[in-house]
Amino acid sequence: MMVLLVSVTVLLVIISAAQILKIAELSAISKGVKVYEISEKDNRVQAVLMLVFLVFYFSFFAWQYLKWSHLMLPVSASEHGVGVDSLMNVTWLFIIPVFIITHILLFWFAFKYAFKANRKAVFFSHSNKLELVWTLVPSLALTVLILYGLNNWNKIMTPVNSEEDHVLIELLGQQFSWGARYAGDDKKLGRANVNYIEGANFMGIDSTDNNCKDDIVVKGEFHIPVNVPVQFVMRSNDVLHSAYMPHFRAQMNCVPGMKTQFNFVPTITSKEMKKITNNENFEYLLLCNKICGAAHYNMQMNIVVESKEDYAKWLSSQKKFGSSLPNPSEGGALVETQK
Residue 273's pLDDT is 95
Over its C-alpha atoms, the chain yields an Rg (Å, rounded) of 31
Task: Render pLDDT for 161-190 as a digit per residue (tens, 0 to 9).
Answer: 777 789 999 999 998 899 999 988 888 888
CATH of domain 167-323: 2.60.40.420
Determine if the pTM surpasses 0.85. Answer: no
Given a contact cutoff of 8 angstroms between Cβ atoms, the answer to whether 317 and 272 are in contact is no
Q: Which residues of the chain have pLDDT under 70?
A: 34-36, 323-339
- Angstrom CA distances, 325 to 198, 206, 207, 308, stand at 13, 11, 8, 29
Residue 333's pLDDT is 38
d(CA 43, CA 45): 5
Task: Render pLDDT for 281-332 as a digit per residue (tens, 0 to 9).
Answer: 999 999 999 998 889 989 999 999 999 999 999 998 988 887 665 544 443 3
**Residues in Cβ contact with 177 at an 8 Å cutoff, skipping those fewer than 6 apart:** 219, 299, 301
Residue 221's pLDDT is 92
Domain ranges of the chain: 38-116, 167-323
Residue 197's pLDDT is 83
